[in-house]
């Protein structure tokens, strides 16, 4: 069931969170993303170039909206001096900009996405400050770690999803499914794969030799910092800053740009208008779209009532 509401898309990346909330009927009234390549991809797909650095935008200049969405970077908060206190302890961080917008616009709800380790960041202090500040703004706050693998994409990607409501509303996180989608389901036909994606024979052979035995199924292998090669039927979490050969299909080639988008659950119509290295970084920074869709559906139930099957 579609609902009529507006949202803003902060730290928008290439629009993965936007896709999830458009899916349930939302209209984006403002977006912000500072990276030029990500802006290019976003504009090509949504006909809208995001505003730049959110730290330079006055919250008063942001349109009114029903839901604030943000996949914000994780930063440490500074130790607060004796003359400062609760009011100042988030300043200098990107969370502070989210907080300032929530305080100014006071939307009906928000959804924030971050890495699983946010809860342990700075010995748990970062997360404690975030939750306490959101609650101090008058929001009923929920949080839970969800795994993209349970939402129909071939990727184990655990992310914390923080949801808040201006009113005292109940919220239930989506559970997903135990049925795992395997990597072979999203691969392009081999004759359509760019030959430049194939690694040198010595890289392939070294990876094969490093594995105790080569699986008899289509796999994607992951090389960790210690050099251990691990094959799986699904991808580990895509990473923006990983080396070019971090993930290999059957130890032979890198995933294509389209395959990387599929690993994150982006639709087939989504355009690639940047280099391979740029789309690899962008997908690593993005979200698993089906997981965000599922969260959006549950938020609609909280805000508008009814069931997601209506």
Q: Determine the distance from the C-alpha atom of residue 127 to the mean position of all C-alpha atoms in its chain, rounded to a whole number.
A: 18
**Tokens 């404690």 sit at which residue?**
128
Map tokens 């919250």 to a residue: 59
Catalytic one among 57, 74, 199, 211? 74
Phi first, then psi: what are they for 95, rounded to 5°?
-60, -35
- 236 belongs to the catalytic site: no
Report the candidate in 128, 109, 103, 127 with the shortest Cα–Cα distance to residue 117.
127
Among candidate residues 235, 203, 204, 208, the one with its CA nearest the CA of residue 219: 235
Nearest to 184 by CA among 283, 245, 255: 255
Residue pair 21/43 in contact by the 8 Å Cβ criterion: no
Cα distance between residue 101 and residue 109, in whole Å: 12
Encoding tokens for residue 129? 């400050």
The residues, any chain, with a CB within 8 Å of residue 303's CB and separated by 6 or more, are: 3, 5, 108, 109, 165, 169
d(CA 3, CA 103): 25
Q: What DSSP letter does each residue of 195-209 carry, written as one string?
A: GGGBPPHHHHHHHHH
* β-sheet bridge partners, residue 158: 147
- DSSP per-residue codes, 67-117: EEEE-PPP-PPPPPPTT--GGGTTTTSHHHHHHHHHHHH--SEEEEEEEGG
Tokens matching residue 14: 């290439």
Looking at the annotation, which residues are catalytic? Answer: 74
């Amino acid at each position: 069931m579609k609902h009529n509401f507006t949202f803003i898309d902060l730290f928008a990346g290439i629009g993965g969170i936007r896709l999830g909330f458009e899916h349930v009927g939302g209209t984006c009234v403002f977006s912000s993303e500072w990276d030029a390549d990500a802006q290019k991809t976003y504009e090509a797909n949504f006909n809208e170039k995001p505003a730049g650095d959110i730290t330079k935008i006055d919250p008063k200049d942001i349109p009114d909206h029903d839901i604030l969405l943000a996949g914000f970077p994780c930063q440490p908060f500074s130790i607060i001096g004796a003359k400062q206190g609760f009011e100042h302890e988030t300043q200098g961080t990107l969370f502070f900009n989210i907080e300032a917008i929530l305080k100014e616009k006071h939307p009906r709800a928000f959804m924030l996405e971050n890495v699983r380790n946010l809860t342990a960041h700075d010995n748990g202090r970062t997360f404690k400050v975030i939750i306490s500040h959101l609650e101090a703004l008058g929001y009923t706050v929920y949080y839970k770690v969800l795994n993209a693998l349970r939402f129909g994409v071939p990727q184990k990607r655990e992310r914390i999803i923080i949801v808040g409501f201006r009113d005292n509303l109940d919220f239930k996180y989506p559970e997903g499914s135990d049925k795992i989608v395997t990597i072979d389901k999203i691969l392009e036909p081999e004759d359509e794969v760019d030959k430049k994606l194939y690694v040198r024979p010595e890289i392939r052979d070294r990876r094969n030799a490093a594995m105790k035995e080569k699986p008899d199924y289509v796999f994607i292998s992951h090389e960790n910092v210690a050099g251990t090669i691990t094959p799986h039927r699904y991808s580990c979490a895509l990473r923006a800053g990983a080396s070019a050969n971090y993930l290999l299909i059957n130890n032979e080639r890198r995933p294509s740009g389209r395959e990387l988008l599929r690993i994150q659950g982006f639709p087939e119509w989504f355009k690639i208008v940047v280099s391979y290295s740029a789309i690899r970084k962008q997908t690593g920074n993005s979200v698993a779209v089906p997981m965000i869709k599922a969260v959006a559906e549950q938020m609609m139930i909280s805000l508008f009532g009814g069931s997601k099957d209506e």
